[in-house]
A and B are shown apart, each in its own frame.
Chain A
């Protein structure tokens, strides 16, 4: 337990910040009137709502105990990284390299896996991916790099 409920405190502030941003950024669209609503009406309304709700979440959390925030930084970075690597490699290096790289990177997150296992896993998933998506579904995607 922590002295404050940091989950709600941080979450409320995040929600309020998004709301504030939407309400301010929405100013650039015409607000209109209740009878003739402009494109800015609904987003500004939502922004103000989020701002209020964020406050309602954060304020009581300041005086309440809570469970500590637990973030899997490493896992998060590896999984998101593997998605980004796949996105960047797919059209440049081709499906095979992109899949191998993404699987190897993602599998680093699992503490129970060793290197021989990882390599076998990457090879297996790559084979499966090519068979399902390219051979089976006929998806048009470069398999290898082109120079």
Chain B
């Protein structure tokens, strides 16, 4: 009953004209950047961060969240029409979505992915509403030792479960934590690593860091990247989007399974929408009666992963909103936006900022409905967006990044900071380091240091406090297990490669 009342109050917040407008801007931009290959939701959210300084925290978070889940809708459009994923989480949709387009069923594929996206979002959202209050209550019982352990788990999971080498992911996390140290130390007031620059007293700007790493560094890598795929010239009419009865019948169970898989992996730290979509596809192929249909335009091959990545995009908010622990870099940016507004994320958020929490939840429903309209009747708009060449886009992106960073403090020094961080980010990208763990570490760094200090102070310098407290011990145990599993997987891969080389040689 209480939840229902809260939800109603949330809808009151979310239905305010201003909030509706920011929600729409969010989902619109989200679809746009989701459609465009070469710009991710991280870059778009970083671009919008400066804007959030000027608006209230609730519409700000609603807008940023809209970009995130809107991108999950838009991502499949490029996958289907161009065989080029618009975002990482819809890469798997290429496998069956593009063959459907080649068979002249592009309209149906676009309709079914939008419908599956909506279905997945609603399931994920329902689970978020069901579990968030309980988890937040649990979060109130946690001490600093447990928080430190949870953050360690989040960081380790995020850096090892993604692609790329284990040690390199961990190195990026530590580097992020180190960059988070820059600025005035909260406990002692000492300025650390500021090198005499007054502009660094409040730490590196999160906006500059995010834009440098995800904006500038990404643009440098993308300008002359070869772009395959030719947009077919067929018009997508509303009539061509009507699915056959067979399409609908085949999609129910895959959508339900995909939503379940997505909800589960979305809530876990480190595994986000992309991994959820891959797993959903693999499961679908395994349970299918005719697995041979996959890869040749099977409708289950697009509805299941699209339901999964959208469900994951919703449940990803569970640890972020209830415990203040982000599972991936996008969620870390959301937390960063909350912190910019002086709101401490954590289990008290739901109690202290009910209109923010429940308003956000209600906005998910409204935003997803808007997305349904944006992605079905207005699909033609996005198809024409796909015709904009990257050579037109990237200079505009550069200018927008510069002006966005400048607007935060009216300072040209901040733009130069972006150039420096962009250069560093590109250097690491060239050496194949993942950038996302860096941002996660940067945002969690100050929180982690504080909890570490507090835990050690309470235990009078006894490190065993982390294993003496049962919950903290369990979480750290899981962390070690994740690390061990990653090491094993890597060793196995190396051994297999050696074996293959020996057989070949």
Contacts and interface: CB of A to CB of B under 8 A. Distances in A.
B216 A86 contact: no
Interface string A102-113: 110011011111
Given A35-B461, A37-B453, A129-B403, A72 B398 contact: no
A110 B427 CA distance: 20
Contacts of B398: 79, 82-83, 86, 102-103, 106
B224 to A, nearest CB: 6
Given A42-B452, A79-B219, A128-B396, A57 B165 contact: yes
A9 B218 CA distance: 23
A33 B400 CA distance: 46
Given A69-B431, A102-B398, A103-B395, A57 B171 contact: yes
B190 A39 contact: yes
A50 B178 contact: yes
A97 interface: no
Contact of A42 (B181, B390, B416, B430): B181
A11 B433 contact: yes
Contacts of A19: 174
A18 B431 CA distance: 15
B460 A110 contact: no
Nearest to B177: A46
A119 interface: no
Query: B170, B399, B422: which has the most chain A beta carbons within 10 Å?
Result: B399
Contact of A80 (B177, B403, B422, B430): B422
B395 A46 contact: no
A144 B192 CA distance: 39
A105 to B, nearest CB: 9
A39 B188 contact: yes
Nearest to A91: B412
Interface in A23-75: 25-26, 29-30, 33-39, 41-43, 46-47, 49-50, 53-54, 56-57, 69-72, 75
B175 A15 contact: yes
Given A86-B399, A102-B398, A111 B431 contact: no
A35 B221 CA distance: 46
A26 B461 CA distance: 21
B220 A79 contact: yes
Contact of A109 (B175, B185, B223, B416): B223
B294 interface: no
Contacts of A139: 403, 407
Contacts of A33: 461
B168 interface: yes
A110 B224 contact: yes
Contacts of B426: 76
B395 A29 contact: no
Interface in B395-431: 395-396, 398-403, 406-407, 410, 412, 415-416, 418-419, 422-423, 426-428, 430-431
Given A69-B431, A121-B395, A43 B181 contact: yes
Contact of B431 (A7, A34, A129): A7
A49 B461 contact: no
Nearest to B187: A39
A131 interface: no
Given A39-B190, A86-B402, A110-B224, 5 more contacts: A30-B188, A53-B174, A70-B430, A83-B415, A84-B416
27 contacts: A10-B431, A29-B190, A33-B461, A36-B457, A37-B452, A42-B181, A53-B174, A57-B165, A57-B168, A75-B220, A75-B223, A76-B220, A83-B216, A83-B398, A83-B401, A86-B398, A87-B406, A87-B412, A90-B412, A99-B399, A106-B395, A110-B223, A117-B391, A121-B392, A122-B395, A125-B395, A129-B396
